[in-house]
Amino acid sequence: MNVVIVGGVAAGTKTAAKLKREDRSINVTLITKDRDISYAGCGLPYYVGGLIETEEELVVNTPQKFAALTGADVITGMEATGLDAQAKVLTAKNLDTGAEEEFSYDKLVIATGASAAVPPIPGIHIPGVFKMRTPEDAVTARDYAQKHNVKQAVVIGAGFIGLEVAENLQKQGLSVTVLEFADQVMPGVFDFEMADFIYRHLEKKGIRVYLSTKAEEILGGGSVTGVKSSAGEFSCGIVIAAAGVRPNTAFLNGTGMEMVKGTIVVNGQMETNLPDVYAAGDCAMVKNRLTGAPQWSPMGSSANLEGRTLAQILSGKDHGEPKAYPGVLGTSVVKLPDLNCGRTGLTEAQARELGYNAVCAVAVTDDKAHYYPDAAFFATKLIAEQETHKLLGVQVLGPGAVDKMIDIAVTGLNMDARLEDFENADYAYAPPFSTAIHPFVQAVYVLQNKLNGALKSFTPAEYMRGAAEGYRVIDASGVPAIPGVKFVDLTKVNGEVEGLNKDDKLLLVCARGKRAYFLQNRLRHFGYTNTKVLEGSTSFNVLKTDGEAEVSPEDVTRVKGLGFLRDKTTKNKFNCRVITRNGKISAEESQAIAEAAKIYGSGEITMTTRLTMEIQGVPYENIEPLREFLSRAGLETGGTGSKVRPVVSCKGTTCQYGNIDTFALSDEIHRRFYQGYREVKLPHKFKIAVGGCPNNCVKPDLNDLGIVGANVPQIDLEKCRGCKVCRVENVCPMKAAAVTDGKIVLSESCNNCGRCVKRCPFGAFDSAKTGYRVYIGGRWGKKIARGQMLGKVFTNEEELLSVVEKAILLFREQGITGERFSDTVARLGFETVEEQLLSDELLQRKAENISAQKHLKGGATC
């Protein structure tokens, strides 16, 4: 028998290899348009991200190796152009010569796969725009991004490939924006509320996703510069078009082949409507295993399974059982930044459209023993038929092994399992792998409780649609966690609950839903019959409360210590202080702050007088997620309380008068004393300013401690000529230089500004030593105090830093709770303080001082 196979990626090569193993006497000829065969199309995004380092790793088999391994003839660079099914002749064009060739067959297998759908928009062929379907696509895209040092990318399409590429581009350091025409990510794959969780997660991870957005034009001339869309223009240096795939079947038009939207319709034996012509893989329309309805499922996994089954059918060796392909479940899994997403079977929407009386539940569980390192969560949605309890579909989200949850579901779906079939399933358990009751079984229990009435709940989808309207939210957490909401301690409910009427409509909410269910069970016993549990609770849902919930004074004080000051015009919104280390941040940090403001705050950013950036309008519940987001960018919040405050500095050596590198010095002060003393409580706030010269742009003498860069001239009097018109004398802004008795003299009014250095034509002022002036006891506000300058000019940075530390230690040791450092200096006397700062006794008492329980409240109110 002579079998010709068109297509050499997944289904084609699998058919060829299995067919030759089944019957070596069959002549198998595999022709393919590409130069490569059996390449890992699903691995292309990971090549772009650098996880797969070389192009060779993407190619499973070369044509030569495959031919030698299987015995099939492999012809590359041959594109199918026509089919005469009556004559059993396939026509193909040699891409090297352009010549037409004919291939006669006894059996023909069409496995031409699918190609990336290219959006028909202007500019789509500008250099810098790539699709993602072949190894060449991935190689050229990665090379282009590296060669052009691309910093921004736009991905068109939020399906599997689009989101995988987005993650991998971000890993390469690019800022990524995804445009999706549908109103959710991965449309048709996940139900809306699951997709919404994924969308929110991507936003938190810094991948911007614009839904219901149409890409209208690619901008640029010689290379791409941006994308114009219905949501505005987005600058970028590379575009990935990942707007789905289309079957490669155009050459079959006019042949009489039955097709639906370009996909070849096949039966259970993979036969087309044409005699002795079969199809498999991404070009074939198979059926849904559950419903029997036609389904197109272009996945590498199903393509391989179809190819293997087809080979057994063609060989006639059914090994005692007639072979047929049973259909697909649409099983898929995708890796996103810190979140894996899997699904199989029917979505809730699909089940309802097909007439099932579907019931579902979302359960958030541990993915392994909660005490085991790296334990995380699974958010599992189960869909079942209400009457029969037959499992219909599963969707799982989580940072860990969601694939094992999906694989359990696939096995159950293949066997028409009911929920009860999983109830006592003896799945593998050990703390590193699972919980004692498997997470899948826990999810089954939740749905069973719902079916038998033990659990009354709202699904996240119902909650998003407003089903909880009119319900009073009750915080069922272990400790109060939802601001402005009545907290009910489950462990103390032994009868009627004060403040709750038995007829009230109560929505019970905790972190995941489990504790809320326990509270519902207890409340029902005591006559509260109108309660609902919010499935997934706060870990899955965006909780809506009536109006603005008032944050307790205790919480206002607590988060103030984290750098969040309440906006007094609101009840539950805060302004977040992001420490910028003297006002200097990188472009990446600036971008992270902007993204954080967009995701967690009002989208507005302000700058304080202390050169700290503030993200405005952060709701109370967003405080911890915001801090986590910023920490991943190396940023921290704070700058409040009775502690050392963030350092402020001028431009330093970038200013024409700057004597010192203020950024480098203030960075070191920040590291040693803001970060190093972050847990040390002081009587009040302690502010430090660093100025590069005596111009005092940042007012060092109005801070608790101020440092001014000095340039101490090293005078060589032997070179002084005692000129009648002295250039040094003329240039001195302080009038501290004067020629006396034929030699230049500097008075005590010299502030070491350095203007005189190199002004003497005879070299008397050619050199200077970098130094530092220190002011102590300044303050600004309701009371103003100008700091006094220590008598010594410090010319050693370590000695200077030692004085800074001694000033902090003195304030802690000898200051009175609630007073500012200026008050301490005035009370003790400047000379006494100066004497202590110039000795080492404070450092000798450091350990005792730091460990003392002092100033636990402090005097700072902001």
What is the per-residue pLDDT for 56? 63
- The beta-strand segments (E) located in 476-584 are 486-487, 506-509, 531-534, 564-566, 573-578
What is the per-residue pLDDT for 822? 96
User: What sign does the CA torsion over 150, 155, 156, 161 have?
Assistant: positive
What is the per-residue pLDDT for 132? 82
Provide the greatest CA pair distance for the chain.
121
At 51, list the tokens.
């996880």
End-to-end Cα spacing for the chain: 86
Helix, coil or strand: residue 348 = helix
Contact of 325 with 307, CB cutoff 8 Å: no
pLDDT tens-digit readout, 355-377: 999 999 999 999 998 888 888 99
Range 614-651 burial, b when 16+ CB lie within 10 A, else e: bbbbbbbbbbeebbebbeebebbbbbbbbbbbbbbbbb
Q: Which residues pair with 457 in a beta bridge?
A: 533
Catalytic residue among 42, 655, 697, 723: 42
d(CA 184, CA 197): 10
What residue ranges define each of the domains in the chain, with the CATH number in brackets? 2-115+247-315 (3.50.50.60), 118-243 (3.50.50.60), 338-454 (3.30.390.30), 458-540 (3.40.250.10), 553-632 (3.30.70.2500)
Contact of 772 with 764, CB cutoff 8 Å: no
Q: Respond yes or no: is residue 42 known to be catalytic.
A: yes
* Averaged pLDDT for residues 497-523: 94
What is the per-residue pLDDT for 627? 85
What is the per-residue pLDDT for 122? 93
Least reliable range by pLDDT among 378-387, 503-512, 548-557, 853-862: 548-557
Quote the pTM value.
Answer: 0.69
The alpha carbon of residue 483 and the mean position of all alpha carbons in its chain are separated, in whole angstroms, by: 26
- Mean pLDDT, the chain, integer: 90
Is pLDDT above 90 for 105?
yes
d(CA 534, CA 541): 9
What is the per-residue pLDDT for 609? 76
pLDDT band at 49 (very low <50, low <70, confident <90, very high): low
